[in-house]
Structure 1
């Protein structure tokens, strides 16, 4: 419908800016006229849009006239000289003056309309005001055809017919946006000419009258069709605007729901990670104490359950990190052969436990990717293949495709039906696990794969046939030039034992604080466990010669200060520079970004004892 709005082409200087802006802007125009808020399931009929459409039609009527009214002012300067020799001079001049006054009166009416900026409810009233003036204009033109009729001068007669016909045709464009104005104008402009021609009384004159009547009916039909096209275009425009508004509202609701989900997940993860942290550390300590005792099997089962929970939290954390866009990629040249070797080492125990054959086909090439994230992608795909293959083989390999490498993971499992292929990369979507058996996975592995490949700019594809297995393929660009080997996932060197390492623990949760202290002391560390920085300084005063060699601090401390602030204040107080490790139970992006900005190491609850031990061993001693 916007193509019918003249202001979209160019706005004349005399038009107010508000009108052109509103007509060009679409939504602002609707706000000036009316602003309904309707549900999508309400029937959008012509009656529903009638008032709004009338408002736009009247606005277009006044706009057309304001842009082209100067053409009407040319009529008297043309008609008066041509007919000067055929009619009395005084009536002819008076006719020209009255005609000019009528045009200027409509121009003033248009200016009042623009100044008033009427709502849609008043649009018909303004349209009828214009219609009355259109009827007056028709009377003036009709009188021209009646008393200027020159039956004995063929050139003047032809001019009169041409003038009336051209003016009537042009009026179809002027008045068609509001059909009542055209209906009032056209008959009054042409019918006096018909009456005057009938007075001649000859057969040619009668046929001329018939022609004028047919022309009038034809132009009325043209004006009606043109007006209907304009009306329909406005209806379609308003329908589209309503649909856009409704879809925008639905999209905003979906975004709010997604943000609420993320906030809930972050809050729930933080609250659940506190006891999980303590449970994980205490389970690790319990394993050491009951390694040869009668409760060994029971402890092993507890440990397996804890590991399952840790896996769930880790997967949720990965999703949260990807949603928060805080994962930074470090691309480089990655040895694909070395990467596949690491994948085979990681996956072999799981495949062997299920009685599956794991075959890895290596090729000597380098790819351009992030070694850690690419390894995570392939680990998830291989783990998914092993989990869903009851017997047979899981094959991992790669092949060149021009300037890219296609890494494939195939299995001989049950396969995936075609109707599920578009959804398997969604969170928590599992094809054959309606009972949510955790042994069949959590439904997050492939979702993480899709997000990581999108982050890296790689592509992931899947082909599957029920009963024949599935093939997942990741396409990665070849590295421009072979560089130094980037280890797939990194390992780091192993430092001396933890015996005697002085560690300051800042944790406001009593259970987690106690669990950390017990675990660290079990490893031979010299631990001071405090609630916050004030408590740490208080305990340190009781040990004048004690200084920490590392700080483990929760990101959120109960005192209202963050662990980053507490660590910085302690380091400044002691005037030392030692490693600081942040421990967070949040999945929101705030702690992730804060840790990156501080330069401190960040661990997420629950922490596996092995991970914490490895981290402490790798920390530089001071």
Structure 2
């Protein structure tokens, strides 16, 4: 043990010594109360047997040391200790231990001349307890233990050894043997404590390194995600604006293939956004009672054709159960699990259904895919974990789907388990509570209804984005929706264009972070000040850091992340149009 403690780096060795001293001071309350009570009891027992002046002096000194330890304890754990060098606290610890040991050792004078038999028994008990009692507190800092124990026991050994009686000499010899055993035990105990402290410090150091690595990973992903979102966002806008032209030219198949490629990229980036939203803790749970069949039927209609295209059988078990949970988050979990089953199943079938288990409903997604090795079962829910099999990297994705599913399951307070046999397939089971009572149900199929193209006739829209491709793509898309667009790359260009118009815009769409430290707040303030009113605003950003997401959420801003799905943009604009129409009707 001691060898391990001494072969550690100098920096860790210094931290280890500091932690030993800190632990010693943590034990001071026990060394304050026990000696004071012991001294009072000793004075009471020996009051009629020895010179009371000795008892009064010793009692006063022990109580004084206890008071001094109280003062040091309070000072050490206050902010004052930050201004004191550590060496001072070491000297104080050793000095108090030495003084305390000398005082207790001085009680050896009571053994000569010999006391009455009943008092000698008490002295022997005292002799057995006093040197050993504080070992738990002192052994963590061995210098303090030695300067306490040796002055405490040595006077007894010397006094007894100088007596002429055989019993006294044998007692002195026994004390020497006992002292050797106690010192050996104290060293082993100290080595054990030191090793425990060393392991704790190393664990804390490794934990800190892992946390730093996680922070670096998050920053890297945020930066990479931001850089990728810009061109994908621009491509999505251009593709959406070309849809009508492609249909007129009979290029629907080509358009669909390009749009599908953009959709794959958008989903990968949205997956990274989900991780950031989970880290920020802003995902809200909206529980409601609904028929599970509506959600499962929709997923069946979506995934059954995909399975058939891969030559797989898609078995679906209907459900009549009513559940209480967040339908949108539940759909996201099941969609991830079904997508995962399609990725890793190349022949056979996929099973999608549910069954009643007591008071719960267990939704199960099974497959006859490659299965999961037993050694990797515990890792599949860890971020960026991808199994090694025959699937291509494109099929495998980023290794975030199961991690997101697990975290969403925890957020809903449900249970997600997996049973798998390598080479035979896997079964994922999601357990959630069911409802038997009669409730008023809302059809969740109303949640994802198709969004019609917004008619922005006579609407004036301001676009601010310093990325040329994004600005041109957004302008083309909104122009196709019959809006009159004022586009600017920066705050100076915006100010110049605002001077040429007196009509207040109906909508402001701005990037969050522009060049030279300009943010969306600056753009919003300039536009609102110009027209003396609050303009409806949509902020678009590629910043997916948890802090930024939380900031926007707390401010109640409409925030869309690049690459923006044109369907989401349509929904936001239609919502703003309805809100604007309602306000106009109220006036």
Same-fold call, TM cutoff 0.5: yes
Matching of residue 553 in structure 1 with residue 523 in structure 2: no
Q: How far has the Cα of 1:429 moved from its partner? A: 1.3
In the alignment, the residues of structure 1 paired with residue 72 and residue 505 of structure 2 have an alpha-carbon distance, to the nearest angstrom, of: 77
In the alignment, the residues of structure 2 paired with residue 323 and residue 351 of structure 1 have an alpha-carbon distance, to the nearest angstrom, of: 33
Query: CA 1:217 to 1:111, structure 2 compared with 1: closer, same or farther past 3 Å?
Result: farther
Query: CA 1:434 to 1:587, structure 2 compared with 1: closer, same or farther past 3 Å?
Result: farther
| RMSD of aligned alpha carbons | 4.1
Q: Mean Cα displacement is larger for which, 587-596 or 56-65? A: 56-65
Among 54, 61, 77, which residue is 2:47 paired with? 77
In the alignment, the residues of structure 1 paired with residue 392 and residue 282 of structure 2 have an alpha-carbon distance, to the nearest angstrom, of: 30
Matching of residue 367 in structure 1 with residue 323 in structure 2: yes
Contact 2:157 2:175 in 1 (8 A): no
Query: CA 1:611 to 1:526, structure 2 compared with 1: closer, same or farther past 3 Å?
Result: same
Query: CA 1:172 to 1:220, structure 2 compared with 1: closer, same or farther past 3 Å?
Result: farther
Q: Mean Cα displacement is larger for which, 576-585 or 119-128? A: 119-128
Matching of residue 266 in structure 1 with residue 222 in structure 2: yes
* Equivalent residue, structure 1, for 2:277: 321
Between structure 1 and structure 2, the one with the greater Rg is 1
Q: How far has the Cα of 1:290 moved from its partner? A: 4.8
SS in 2 for 1:175: coil
Q: How far has the Cα of 1:578 moved from its partner? A: 6.0
Contact 1:169 1:219 in 2 (8 A): no
Matching of residue 525 in structure 1 with residue 483 in structure 2: yes
Q: Show the 5 A alignment for 1:537-548.
A: 538-544=496-502, 546-548=503-505
Q: How far has the Cα of 1:528 moved from its partner? A: 1.7
Matching of residue 603 in structure 1 with residue 560 in structure 2: yes
In the alignment, the residues of structure 2 paired with residue 60 and residue 131 of structure 1 have an alpha-carbon distance, to the nearest angstrom, of: 16
Q: Which runs of 5+ in 2 are unaligned?
A: 1-5, 74-87, 136-147, 582-587
In the alignment, the residues of structure 1 paired with residue 215 and residue 92 of structure 2 have an alpha-carbon distance, to the nearest angstrom, of: 43
Q: How far has the Cα of 1:595 moved from its partner? A: 3.5
Q: Which runs of 5+ in 1 are unaligned?
A: 1-35, 81-94, 146-158, 198-208
* Equivalent residue, structure 1, for 2:312: 356
Among 248, 270, 282, which residue is 2:238 paired with? 282
Q: How far has the Cα of 1:569 moved from its partner? A: 5.0
Report how many aligned residue pairs link the two structures: 544
Deviations 1:289-345 (A, max 9, x none): 455769988776654443332222111111111111111111111220101011112
SS in 1 for 2:356: strand
* Equivalent residue, structure 1, for 2:471: 513
Query: CA 1:112 to 1:468, structure 2 compared with 1: closer, same or farther past 3 Å?
Result: closer
* Equivalent residue, structure 2, for 1:341: 297
Contact 1:371 1:488 in 2 (8 A): no
Matching of residue 255 in structure 1 with residue 255 in structure 2: no
* Equivalent residue, structure 1, for 2:141: none
Q: Show the 5 A alignment for 1:389-428.
A: 389-428=345-384
Query: CA 1:129 to 1:592, structure 2 compared with 1: closer, same or farther past 3 Å?
Result: closer
Query: CA 1:504 to 1:119, structure 2 compared with 1: closer, same or farther past 3 Å?
Result: closer
Q: How far has the Cα of 1:131 moved from its partner? A: 5.5
Per the normalisation by structure 2, the TM-score is: 0.79
Q: How far has the Cα of 1:504 moved from its partner? A: 2.2
In the alignment, the residues of structure 1 paired with residue 61 and residue 557 of structure 2 have an alpha-carbon distance, to the nearest angstrom, of: 78
In the alignment, the residues of structure 1 paired with residue 17 and residue 467 of structure 2 have an alpha-carbon distance, to the nearest angstrom, of: 65
Contact 2:364 2:430 in 1 (8 A): yes
Q: Mean Cα displacement is larger for which, 568-577 or 346-355? A: 568-577
Q: Show the 5 A alignment for 1:195-594.
A: 195=164, 209-210=166-167, 212-222=168-178, 225=181, 229=185, 232-286=188-242, 288-290=244-246, 302-432=258-388, 437-479=393-435, 481-487=438-444, 490-492=447-449, 494-495=451-452, 497-498=454-455, 500=457, 501-531=459-489, 535-536=493-494, 538-544=496-502, 546-558=503-515, 560-564=517-521, 566-567=523-524, 570-571=527-528, 573-574=530-531, 579-594=536-551
SS in 2 for 1:470: strand
Contact 1:361 1:397 in 2 (8 A): yes
* Equivalent residue, structure 1, for 2:112: 143
Contact 1:506 1:552 in 2 (8 A): yes
Contact 1:58 1:126 in 2 (8 A): no
Contact 1:337 1:363 in 2 (8 A): yes
Query: CA 1:419 to 1:609, structure 2 compared with 1: closer, same or farther past 3 Å?
Result: same
Q: How far has the Cα of 1:279 moved from its partner? A: 2.3
* Equivalent residue, structure 1, for 2:145: none
Query: CA 1:572 to 1:421, structure 2 compared with 1: closer, same or farther past 3 Å?
Result: same
Contact 2:363 2:429 in 1 (8 A): yes
Q: Mean Cα displacement is larger for which, 109-118 or 172-181? A: 109-118
* Equivalent residue, structure 1, for 2:143: none
Query: CA 1:464 to 1:472, structure 2 compared with 1: closer, same or farther past 3 Å?
Result: same
SS in 2 for 1:414: coil
Contact 2:384 2:398 in 1 (8 A): yes
Q: How far has the Cα of 1:77 moved from its partner? A: 3.4
* Equivalent residue, structure 2, for 1:183: 153
In the alignment, the residues of structure 1 paired with residue 230 and residue 150 of structure 2 have an alpha-carbon distance, to the nearest angstrom, of: 75
SS in 2 for 1:79: coil
Contact 1:54 1:124 in 2 (8 A): no
Q: How far has the Cα of 1:516 moved from its partner? A: 0.8
In the alignment, the residues of structure 1 paired with residue 324 and residue 446 of structure 2 have an alpha-carbon distance, to the nearest angstrom, of: 15
In the alignment, the residues of structure 2 paired with residue 429 and residue 489 of structure 1 have an alpha-carbon distance, to the nearest angstrom, of: 35
